[in-house]
Amino acid sequence: MFDFFWNLGSFIVALSILVAVHEYGHFWVARKAGVKVLRFSIGFGKPLFTWYDKLGTEYAISAIPLGGYVRMLDSRVDEVLEQDKLLTLDSKSVYARMAVAAAGPIANFLFAILALAVMYIVGVQNVKPVVGSVTTESIAFHAGMQPGDQITKIGGDEVASWQEVNFAVMSGLGEHRLDVKVIDERGQIAIRTMNVEGWKLDKRDVAPLTSIGITPFRPDITTELALIADGSAAARANLQTGDVILFFNQMPISSWTQFVELVQLAPNEQSVITVLRGDTKITLNITPDSREGAQGTTIGYLGVVPKQKSWPAGYIETRQYGVFDSILLGVQKTYALTMLSFEMIGNLITGQVSVKNISGPVGIAVGAGDSVSYGLIAFLSFLALISVNLGVFNLLPLPMLDGGHLMYYLIELIRKKPVSEKTQELGYKLGAMMLLALTCFALFNDVSRL
């Protein structure tokens, strides 16, 4: 229950920040263009808090925190006083209206640059992209990837973290080959060429690296207990931090994975566990608690966390830059994320990426909660990624979105006259139906992951 409220609160905070940034872009340019703004709302539905500025604009925090809007004076829908006719949106030039429509997505891109720049100024901690294992008969296997290979370049992109590797690999969708530059365990530079012709991300929740057969290196997990949850089966059995698991139901334990599998097979069953506590072997009775696992099966769990070995020297590095370099990196990363977002939309259309990978509010909420838990840098990275996605999504040429408005204005420029109100109204209805269908589909994907 705590996780639910934590994720919900993080989602509301993250979305409110990004919506405020997006709508402020529209608001600021509208004001500069001489358009009267009637309301600036964060959220939809009934306003919970309202206040006004000296120009008469109403600011509102509304009940449904799933978006926001800026309502501008428009003679097509409002009764306009004579003295306000030149303050309506529809009285402005088509270029001014295009600027107002584009300002929201542009604000999202600028915010992403700022968030990433702050990250690099504070310092970003990365794990070097060293391969831990390679799946037999996978794309990476046939390319000759080896455990211990440190990936330094993919295609034309230099990479220094697993996030950068992921993005570079995703950019390879639709290509015939990917050249991967590595430094092997002997310190030799090598090029591993991966044949990615026909490769697709067509399975739900399968990461790009997993899809091509690469598992990142992680320090081994020991069978020593590092944490015991209060009130758990382990706590009731008097297990203690520092205990090393030796046997479970007379089965010798050689790895943490083996131990977890044995416990999962014994939900609510009285069992026996033997541990090494200091120099003494202790045998205890224990009954694993139960919970629902995959495919609705019941599995056992104890409520313990194992100790992980330390990272080898040099595997974790902190990258920190000056203000100018941080801003430049922010611009470069935002551009790369924007291009990748457009590429992913294209891959969704062509079937290179399965629509099962689309996430909705629930997925974003979980991501927001996790990023907040990891600290400021992770949260800023999450905000930058979602801000870019929000900007790209709003540029799609769908009525109801900023891209739809820009499409109408472009047609107006070409035809020398506005698109008829009847056509626009039909477009808005179709756009609303498409967005509703997309939202329902994303929610279905979210729920199916729970």
In a domain, 79, yes or no: no
Task: Give the lowest-confidence range in 109-123, 264-278, 335-349, 372-386.
Answer: 372-386
Residue 200 sits in the same domain as residue 254: no
Nearest residue to 330 via CA among 110, 156, 125:
110
In this predicted model, what pLDDT tens digit does every residue of 31-40 receive, in sequence order? 999 999 999 9
75 pLDDT above the threshold of 70: yes
Residue 227 sits in the same domain as residue 212: no
202 pLDDT above the threshold of 80: no
Q: Give the pLDDT score at 340.
A: 81
In a domain, 415, yes or no: no
Phi–psi pair at 239, nearest 5 degrees: -70, 150
Residue 137 sits in the same domain as residue 198: yes
Q: What is the mean pLDDT of residues 313-318?
A: 85
Measured distance CA(170)–CA(340) in Å, rounded: 8
Within 332-414, strands assigned E span none
94 pLDDT above the threshold of 70: yes
Give CA angle at 124 (362, 369), nearest 5°: 20
In this predicted model, what pLDDT tens digit does every residue of 286-295 receive, in sequence order? 999 988 876 6
Helix (H, G, I), strand (E, B) or coil at 179: strand
Task: Give the lowest-confidence range in 30-34, 84-88, 243-247, 416-420.
Answer: 416-420
The residue with tokens 């004001």 is: 31
Residue 187 sits in the same domain as residue 265: no
Measured distance CA(100)–CA(159) in Å, rounded: 37
Residue 253 sits in the same domain as residue 301: yes
Sign (positive/negative) of CA torsion 319, 323, 328, 334? positive
Q: Give the pLDDT score at 209.
A: 84
In a domain, 274, yes or no: yes
User: 254-261 contacts: CB < 8 A, separation 24 or more?
Assistant: 255/221, 255/223, 256/221, 256/222, 256/223, 256/306, 257/221, 259/223
443 pLDDT above the threshold of 60: no
Q: What is the mean pLDDT of residues 265-280?
A: 93
Question: What is the pTM assigned to this prediction?
Answer: 0.76
Residue 149 sits in the same domain as residue 199: yes
Q: What is the mean pLDDT of residues 125-139?
A: 89
363 pLDDT above the threshold of 50: no
Q: Cα 327 to chain center, whole Å? A: 22
Q: What is the mean pLDDT of residues 402-412?
A: 90
Helix (H, G, I), strand (E, B) or coil at 373: helix
80 pLDDT above the threshold of 80: yes
361 pLDDT above the threshold of 70: no
Angle at which helices 323-350 and 162-170 pack, to 10 degrees? Answer: 40
Q: Give the pLDDT score at 311.
A: 86
Measured distance CA(248)–CA(442) in Å, rounded: 42
Question: Which of 191, 216, 241 finishes a domain?
Answer: 216
177 pLDDT above the threshold of 80: yes
Nearest residue to 261 via CA among 302, 219, 215:
302
Q: pLDDT confidence of 426, banded at 50, 70, 90?
A: confident
In a domain, 4, yes or no: no
Task: Give the lowest-confidence range in 106-115, 195-204, 370-379.
Answer: 370-379
Question: Which of 263, 278, 306 finishes a domain?
Answer: 306
Residue 241 sits in the same domain as residue 183: no
Measured distance CA(44)–CA(60) in Å, rounded: 9
Q: Which distant-in-sequence residues (6+ apart) come within 8 Å of 436 by Cβ?
A: none
Over the chain, what is the mean pLDDT?
85
Instruction: Cite the active site residues.
Output: 23
Residue 228 sits in the same domain as residue 289: yes
Nearest residue to 433 via CA among 443, 441, 421, 444:
441
Q: Give the pLDDT score at 4.
A: 60
In this predicted model, what pLDDT tens digit does every residue of 316-354 receive, in sequence order? 888 889 999 999 999 999 998 898 888 777 767 766 665
Q: What is the tally of structural domains in the chain?
A: 2
Measured distance CA(391)–CA(108) in Å, rounded: 5
Q: Give the pLDDT score at 417.
A: 85
Residue 133 sits in the same domain as residue 181: yes
275 pLDDT above the threshold of 50: yes
Beta pairing partners, 64: 44
In a domain, 61, yes or no: no
Helix (H) or strand (E) holding 213: none
Nearest residue to 334 via CA among 28, 41, 40, 111:
111
H-only helix segments in 160-223: 162-170, 208-212
Q: Give the pLDDT score at 204.
A: 59
Q: What is the mean pLDDT of residues 385-396?
A: 89
Q: Give the pLDDT score at 368.
A: 46
Q: Give the pLDDT score at 103.
A: 96
Measured distance CA(12)–CA(93) in Å, rounded: 36
Report the CATH number at residue 210. Answer: 2.30.42.10
Tokens for 376, please give them.
């400021």
Residue 211 sits in the same domain as residue 233: no
Q: Give the pLDDT score at 318.
A: 85
Residue 241 sits in the same domain as residue 293: yes
Q: Which residue has the higher pLDDT, 324 or 361?
A: 324
Tokens for 67, please give them.
């978006």
In a domain, 200, yes or no: yes
Helix (H, G, I), strand (E, B) or coil at 400: coil
In a domain, 155, yes or no: yes
Helix (H, G, I), strand (E, B) or coil at 336: helix
In a domain, 438, yes or no: no
Measured distance CA(268)–CA(185) in Å, rounded: 46
Measured distance CA(358)–CA(449) in Å, rounded: 11
450 pLDDT above the threshold of 80: no
Question: Which of 279, 306, 333 finishes a domain?
Answer: 306
In this predicted model, what pLDDT tens digit does every residue of 32-74 receive, in sequence order? 999 999 999 998 888 899 999 998 899 999 988 878 899 999 8
Domain, as residue range, for 139: 127-216
Cβ(394)–Cβ(105) below 8 Å: yes
Task: Give the lowest-confidence range in 199-208, 303-312, 314-323.
Answer: 199-208
Helix (H) or strand (E) holding 141: helix 139-143
Q: pLDDT confidence of 222, banded at 50, 70, 90?
A: very high
Residue 199 sits in the same domain as residue 235: no
